[in-house]
């Protein structure tokens, strides 16, 4: 592999997600495999500006593949949004003789990386780390699969109590402006209704569906609501609305919150993280820069960072139909 790169820096930025540690491990070990140095940068771009660097070798990343979060810590950095901050970051990289950066984070982190690359010509590659799966250019982001499993398990537990008390539960799940988590966990956990931002079918439809299931003898139900749902009501208001219109239901609300971001990564996320780390480092060594690593049809691919940032992901419409059929 021909390259002028002899040291790569790795950082995690923005919100954490399960699989980030496994990705750091992969970056470090791929560097070791290719006999180049690797330096970990703590607290994302803020640590880059403050010179919070630590040399990492293959042994520094033992026993982390199974751990959630990121041992390098993550941060949001307002300083990196300024030219002075980025100049400082660049000087630190020169001082530590770092030749390229692997940025594990979301679209904000990639935007920062792109601007940095534009200003200083510094090679960067992104690895998409977010549970929301809302980044264009990859079928799956790091942490998404783990979050799906966490959410399904939580809804299963809620279902136990829902069916014991004949209750209707509204469960709010994460995903920001995307409904991937809600749609997939809704189908996976057998929800009666799934409300997602991409498909606002109106509240009437939800009432009709709940009425139908009540009439068909169902005594408990789950409605999964994406946090970015566009019905115009938050999950508590939705519950009130249904309570007013269908007084036969005993309704409860559960907002799953940050438990969805934690926990040991699933096998899928560990494998994905390992593959993404290898692809990121080897792409840099091949002279590529300003790309994001992704996966599609079980193959690793690169997407230009600007496309990854600007592009929109689409929900799987077939799943909506499957959900409808399953709630017959
Ligand atoms: P998440 O998906 O969890 O929100 P993210 O990477 O999108 O992750 P952001 O907070 O949007 O999270 O961005 C992380 C960091 O990237 C910011 O704190 C900032 O330091 C940097 N960043 C984001 N946008 C820009 C920008 N336009 N210019 C420079 N830096 C930026």
Catalytic residue among 132, 134, 145, 269: 132
Burial of 232-260, coded b for 16+ CB within 10 Å and e otherwise, reads ebbbeebbebbeeeeeebebebbebeeeb
The residue whose CA is least distant from atom 11 of ligand 1 is 108
Say if residue 289 is in the same domain as residue 237: no
Say if residue 303 is in the same domain as residue 197: no
Residue 209: per-residue pLDDT = 87
Residue 2: per-residue pLDDT = 44
| CA neighbor of 227 nearest in space, from 202, 205, 260, 204 | 260
Residues 6+ apart with CB under 8 A from 193: 186, 206, 209, 210, 221, 223, 224, 327
* Domain end residue (candidates: 221, 237, 261): 261
Residue 51: per-residue pLDDT = 97
Residue 321 covered by a domain: no
Beta-strand runs (E) in 123-183: 124-128, 167-173
Domain range for 204: 145-261
Residue 186: per-residue pLDDT = 97
Residue 166: per-residue pLDDT = 79
Instruction: Specify the CATH number for the domain of residue 75.
Output: 3.40.50.450
258 is known to lie in a ligand binding site: yes
Say if residue 126 is in the same domain as residue 38: yes
Residue 152 covered by a domain: yes
> What is the strand order of the sheet 193-195 is part of?
193-195, 221-226, 167-173, 250-255
Instruction: Specify the CATH number for the domain of residue 189.
Output: 3.40.50.460
CA angle 49, 54, 55 (to 5 degrees): 130
Tell me, in angstroms, the distance from the centre of ligand 1 to residue 110's CA. Answer: 7
26 is known to lie in a ligand binding site: yes
Whether 145 is a known active-site residue: answer no
Say if residue 271 is in the same domain as residue 228: no
Determine whether the shortest distance from the Cβ of 81 to ligand 1 is under 6 A: yes
C-beta separation of 307 from 135 below 8 A: no
Residue 3: per-residue pLDDT = 54
Say if residue 180 is in the same domain as residue 291: no
Tens of pLDDT along the chain (328 residues) come to 445 899 999 999 999 999 999 999 999 999 999 999 999 999 999 999 999 999 999 999 999 999 999 999 999 999 999 999 999 999 999 999 999 999 999 999 999 999 999 999 999 999 999 999 999 999 999 999 999 999 999 999 999 988 888 789 999 999 999 999 999 999 999 999 999 999 987 888 889 888 888 888 887 789 999 999 999 999 999 999 999 998 888 999 999 999 999 999 999 999 999 999 999 999 999 999 999 999 999 999 999 999 999 999 999 999 999 998 998 8
Residue 211: per-residue pLDDT = 87
Say if residue 174 is in the same domain as residue 105: no
Task: Say how many CA atoms lie within 13 Å of 68 toward its Cβ.
Answer: 21
Determine whether the shortest distance from the Cβ of 115 to ligand 1 is under 6 A: yes
Residue 205: per-residue pLDDT = 86
Tell me, in angstroms, the distance from the centre of ligand 1 to residue 14's CA. Answer: 6
Query: Beta partners for 251?
Result: 168
Q: How far apart are CA 11 and CA 45, in angstroms?
A: 8
Say if residue 251 is in the same domain as residue 285: no
Residue 316 covered by a domain: no
The residue whose CA is least distant from atom 30 of ligand 1 is 112
Task: Give the total number of structural domains in the chain.
Answer: 2
157 is known to lie in a ligand binding site: no
How does DSSP classify residue 142?
A: B
Residue 201 covered by a domain: yes
Kindly tell me the sign of the dihedral angle through the C-alpha atoms of 236, 242, 244, 250. Answer: negative
Residue 325 covered by a domain: no
Determine whether the shortest distance from the Cβ of 112 to ligand 1 is under 6 A: yes
Q: How far apart are CA 37 and CA 122, in angstroms?
A: 17
Determine whether the shortest distance from the Cβ of 218 to ligand 1 is under 6 A: no
Residue 230: per-residue pLDDT = 92
């Amino acid at each position: 592999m021909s390259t002028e790169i002899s040291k790569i820096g790795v950082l995690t930025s923005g919100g954490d997600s399960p699989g980030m540690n496994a990705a750091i491990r992969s970056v470090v070990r791929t560097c070791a495999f290719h006999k180049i140095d690797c330096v970990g940068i703590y607290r994302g771009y803020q640590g880059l500006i403050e010179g919070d660097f630590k040399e990492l070798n293959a042994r520094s990343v033992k026993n982390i593949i199974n751990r959630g979060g990121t041992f390098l810590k993550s941060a949001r950095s307002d300083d990196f949004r300024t030219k002075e901050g980025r100049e400082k970051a660049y000087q630190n990289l020169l001082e530590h003789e770092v030749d390229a950066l692997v940025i594990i984070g979301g679209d904000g982190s990639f935007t920062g990386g792109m601007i940095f690359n534009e200003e200083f010509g510094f090679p960067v590659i992104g690895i998409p780390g977010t549970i929301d799966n809302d980044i264009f250019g990859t079928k799956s982001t790091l942490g998404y699969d783990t979050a799906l499993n966490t959410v399904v398990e939580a809804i299963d537990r809620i279902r136990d109590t829902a069916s014991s008390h004949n209750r209707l539960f509204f469960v709010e799940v994460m995903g920001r402006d995307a409904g991937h988590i809600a749609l997939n966990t809704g189908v996976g956990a057998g929800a009666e209704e799934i409300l997602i931002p991409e498909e606002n079918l109106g509240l009437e439809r939800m009432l009709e569906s709940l009425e139908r299931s009540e009439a068909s003898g169902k005594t408990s139900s789950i409605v999964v609501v994406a946090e970015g749902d566009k019905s115009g009501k938050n999950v508590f208001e939705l519950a009130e609305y249904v309570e007013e219109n269908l007084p036969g239901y005993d309704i409860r609300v559960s907002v799953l919150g940050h438990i969805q971001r934690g926990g040991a990564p699933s096998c899928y996320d560990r494998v994905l993280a390992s593959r993404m780390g290898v692809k990121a480092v080897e792409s840099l060594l091949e002279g590529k820069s300003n790309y994001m690593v992704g996966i599609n049809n079980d193959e690793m691919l690169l997407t230009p960072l600007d496309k990854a940032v600007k592009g929109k992901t689409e929900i799987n419409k077939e799943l909506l139909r499957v959900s409808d059929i399953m709630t017959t």
